[in-house]
Structures are given as C-alpha cells and as structure tokens.
Amino acid sequence: MKRYLLAALTLVLLSLPAAAADYQKAFKTFRNRLDSSVFSGADLSAQNQLILQASDKYVALPASGRFERASVALTGWHMVLAPDAPANLMLSIRWKTGGELWLMKDSGYAKIDEWADARLPFTPDPPNTDRFFGYVGGQLMRGGSATGNMTAFNGRLGKTFLRGRCDAAALYGYSKLGDSGLSAYGLTGRVLFPLTDKLGWNLGGSFTRSAPSVGEAVNSVAALGGVNFYLPGGSFDVTASVGNKRMYSLLLGYTLYLTRK
C-alpha cells in the first residue's frame, strides 16, 4: 500500500513542473502573436495570470472597442492554452493611470473590475507603499521677538501617506541666541509634488510650541514650501517658511527613509 501511495505522489510532483512549463510555452506563443498597436507588452504573473500593457490607442478606445480587443486577447490566450485552459480565464490590462480586469467564462466575456489612479497634478507614478523617515537639518530664523538672526537644529520623525503624496511628522528644534536657549516641539505636514525621480517640490504647514529657558512658552503656526532633490534612500531638502509674528526661516536638511518601498 505504501508503495502505491509513494508512486502516486511521485507522479503528482513530476506533473507540476510540466504544467508550469506549458504555461510558459503558451505565453511565448501568445506574445509573438500580440497586436503591438494596441498592447505594448505582456507578462505572466506568478499565478499564471496574463497581464497586458495597454498602449495609448487602447486607452483612447470607447467601451465597445475595449470589449472587442479584450475578447480577442482572451480568445487567443484560451487557444494557446487548450486543451488545458481553465474554465474561468482572467486577463489584466493595465496602463499608466489605471487598468481593467476581464473574465472569460463559458465562451462569454465580461469586465469584472476597473481602477484609476487619481493622482495629484504634475506628479509621476508614486511609490507602491508608504515609508517612515527621519530628518536632520539646520535652520536660519529671523523675525518675531528676536532682535537678530538665530540658528537652530531641526529634527523630525514621520511617515508618508496616500502612496507618498503627503507626509506628517513630529518635530523638535533647538536654537540659541546669546545666553538664552529655545526648545520647540510640534507637528508638520506637507503635500508632495514629485516632478521627476530626481526633483520635486512641496507645500505644507507646521504648528510649534516654543519653550524658552527664560519666559513663557509661545505657540506659532507657519506656512512652508520647498524643493526636494531625491537621492538613493532619501532626499536633500531646501525649505522656506513664513510664520505668525513675521517669523521667517530657511531650512537645509536631509530626509532619510527608514523603510524601503
């Protein structure tokens, strides 16, 4: 009895690579027949689902035209898989700002899902996940109740949100003017506008509570904006801010991503 079970298990294990190899062979055949005017590329997922990259021509088609092109693609994919094609055959069609999921079942075709990437204007594709980050920089301040320029240390710890479209951070700053020290705690938030993978800009605001070594604590708000120079693992940031009581500042610092994409 054990001998028969072992033989059966061996046959099953030997059949698995063959099935995977058949999908790869079928995919190569299908890709060679792909209409390049409508689909600019093709891929096969780890679960053997066909993924097609749509060209601008496909995206510009009306709903009926997309249905026709997706049906033709599903039929062709079914033909190269026959006779081992699954009963429910799925196709994912994707482009830069959206995509569709199509299903072939019992010789019928249906679009079962679609999505769009409603991005902020003037931004390229955002990262797929959000990340924690740390920031260290120097700050030059002028205005407010100070009679001269002040230099300060500025540090932040925060996280990006909405696939890198914005971020929020807790901040700490320390400055010294003469014999008087000033510690500041607060929150900052920004909307991020990447222009390329090397350059971007941002707009945001901050709320801080300053605790001088002598005197009462002071709350302040500020509007800020700046430029980001993206580097591997982080960015070099130049930021200007305008606060209440006519407080102006310029920050130069480095943002380090603490987690990967």
What's residue 260's pLDDT?
A: 67
Domain 132-257, second-level architecture: Beta Barrel (2.40)
What's residue 239's pLDDT?
A: 92
The pLDDT tens digits for 181-235 are 778 889 999 998 888 778 889 999 998 887 776 667 778 888 999 999 988 888 9
pTM over 0.75: no
Nearest to 170 by CA among 223, 216, 131, 208: 208
Tell me which residue has tokens 């094609």. Answer: 85
How many other CB atoms are found less than 10 A from the CB of residue 135? 22
Q: DSSP strand E in the chain: where?
A: 39-44, 50-54, 88-95, 98-105, 108-116, 132-143, 150-161, 166-177, 180-194, 199-212, 218-231, 234-243, 247-257
Q: Which of 5-19, 65-79, 96-110, 237-251 has the lowest mean pLDDT?
A: 5-19
- Give residue limits of the domains in the chain: 2-116, 132-257
